[in-house]
Structure 1
Amino acid sequence: MNMPSPVKAYFDADRNRDARALAAAFAADATVKDEGNTYAGREAIEAWWSEAKAKYEPVAAPLEVEGQGEAVKVLAEVTGNFPGSPVKLTFAFRLAGARIEHLEITQ
């Protein structure tokens, strides 16, 4: 599946359960919006991701990639230890050069 390098880095780090590599895919002042909450900065993003991994053990498998350049959406099947698993979620990335500037995850 053809993805921009920061998006691929995000999903590779997620699959490998590597919080530091995942956070490194983001710009220093990046934001993530997930389940109605917003997380700002790499430290907060790493903490959000680590807490979700510990609690739900989610695994995201990309199915489709749409867009290019600064705006990329990835439809992924997410399985884990949560009600309704598996679910299909949209990961909407806004990129700035070689880093993720913003990520919003929606159903």
Structure 2
Amino acid sequence: MSMNLPKPIADYVEANARLNIDGMMKPFLADAVFIDNGKRYQGLAEIRKLLEEEAIAVEAIFTPDTVREEDGDVVLEGPVYGDFPGSPIRFTYRVTLANDAIKTLQTTV
């Protein structure tokens, strides 16, 4: 990817491109929050389960094509391709970083 992303976000996107769940989990803080279309998952165990069921199981890969900073967050937009109805679907990811890690990741369609 040619975008200049903060390292935790770049690491997450690159691991997702390889469908590497361990790599996807590595950038998150232990008490991170993942909000998936309004549903909240907190902590590494809940986030891992979500990603295993909603990303890895359907081979969903996020390919951001835009990035901007908004109110201190990093906002990425782009299609998610995978083995699911309607693929690809355009997503927005809003990421809050803390201590060089992902504190919050919010996805919306």
| Same fold? TM cut 0.5 | yes
Deviates more, 1:24-33 or 1:81-90: 81-90
Matched with 1:58 is 60
Identity among equivalent positions (%) equals 31
Matched with 1:14 is 16
Superposed CA offset, 1:25-48 (max 9, x none): 101100001133211111211111
Partner Cα distance (2:24, 2:57) in 1 = 17
Shift, 1:97, TM fit? 2.1
Shift, 1:102, TM fit? 0.3
Matched with 1:82 is 84
List aligned pairs for 1:23-42, cutoff 5 A.
23-42=25-44
Partner Cα distance (2:100, 2:70) in 1 = 13
Partner Cα distance (1:69, 1:100) in 2 = 16
Is 2:34–2:105's contact at 8 Å kept on the other side of the alignment?
yes
Matched with 1:94 is 96
Is 2:62–2:80's contact at 8 Å kept on the other side of the alignment?
yes
Runs (4+) of structure 1 exceeding 4 A deviation are: none
- Gapped regions of structure 1 (runs ≥ 5): none
- Gapped regions of structure 2 (runs ≥ 5): none
Kindly provide the amino acid, as one letter, of the partner of residue 11 in structure 1: V
**Quick check: 1:45 aligned with 2:37?**
no
Matched with 1:73 is 75
Superposed CA offset, 1:40-64 (max 9, x none): 1112111110111344221111101
Matched residue count = 107
TM-score between the two structures when normalised by the length of structure 2: 0.89
TM-score between the two structures when normalised by the length of structure 1: 0.90
Shift, 1:94, TM fit? 0.4
